[in-house]
A and B are shown apart, each in its own frame.
Chain A
């Protein structure tokens, strides 16, 4: 019971954090805490097999999947605080409160009865006992689950697959396009400038400085810019900016230059 009373408040707080955290990554981490705690509670309740599965499958696989997808998706998707559906939050809170209170009250009212405990069931060890039940009583469901998993894998493949509608541009076509862009819009012909490399900020999140001392927006990844984690290189760049005089205008980065960028 000690483990429960230690973990339960942590789980509730983390779960509530899931409601209020602005960033999806934080949510994922909070969820991981809840899941690991759950795993511990499983272990406490004589379910060592589920303890392992919970950690491996949920915390290990599912949450990693979430993080992968977040990496792919969640960059631009910062959650707005403004609620768009009128009364949604209020009603959700109200219903949730009614639901939770009723459920808790109900559970508290109902006598669950004496706890039998799994000592007898786990006589030969938990894993053999589960295997015994799983491969006899639930063998059909088990087999069907395999079909479900295969179907899900196929479904995911189908969904993630993207049909190419236009032929893949050749290097020649890409080069021709760049020349055309230069001719028509005067777009820079050469490669994009690399990020700034400084003694203190030898990192991709630091923009390069142009010869006049201004910041080159094109030198940093757009993803970083969108995330708002661009280092404005406070030490050097601002000083250089100051030195560089009044010309602070930075030519806007042209999106079309990002031909091969499929990161989004």
Chain B
């Protein structure tokens, strides 16, 4: 079972996630795209774990999941707060911090 297809899939998913972050304006969808990127990297980690024959990659993927969970909690709370004050979940509306 070759590893390259997994890695390529991971790369494709990561790229799609990145483009999603750039193009979507709904903060929640943007956030989902970030999760997609994290998952894509997890796939790569798991694959490399198999390639290398040890479990460090899986551990790393596990930590990524934990951190992602924490991040989602905080991030969604932030989105909630922004929405509460600005009545909008668009990332473009929160653009006061500029020149």
Complex CA distance for A91 and B25, rounded to whole angstroms:
15
**If the complex has contacts A62-B72, A65-B73, are A31 and B36 also in contact, measured as CB distance less than 8 A?**
yes
Query: Chain A residues with Cβ under 8 A from B46's Cβ?
Result: 41-42, 45, 47, 50
Size class of the contact patch on chain B: 35 or more
Complex CA distance for A153 and B74, rounded to whole angstroms:
7
**If the complex has contacts A57-B69, A100-B15, A145-B66, are A108 and B23 also in contact, measured as CB distance less than 8 A?**
no
Contact B29 A27 (CB under 8 A): yes
Query: Chain A residues with Cβ under 8 A from B92's Cβ?
Result: 84-85
Per-position 1/0 for A19-44, Cβ under 8 A of B: 10000100110010011001001101
**If the complex has contacts A117-B53, A118-B53, A145-B66, are A104 and B12 also in contact, measured as CB distance less than 8 A?**
yes
Query: Chain B residues with Cβ under 8 A from A151's Cβ?
Result: 70
Contact B5 A92 (CB under 8 A): no
Chain B contact surface mostly: helix
CB-nearest residue of chain B to A84: B92
Nearest CB on A from B53, distance (A):
3
Contact B11 A134 (CB under 8 A): no
State whether the Cβ of A225 lies closer than 8 Å to any Cβ in chain B.
Answer: no
State whether the Cβ of A228 lies closer than 8 Å to any Cβ in chain B.
Answer: no
Cβ-defined partner of B25 (8 Å) among A4, A5, A31, A80? A80
Q: List 7 A-B contacts (CB under 8 A).
A: A11-B9, A15-B17, A19-B16, A19-B24, A69-B76, A73-B89, A108-B8
Known contacts A16-B16, A104-B8, A118-B53; 7 additional CB pairs below 8 A are A4-B9, A11-B9, A45-B46, A74-B89, A112-B51, A148-B67, A151-B70
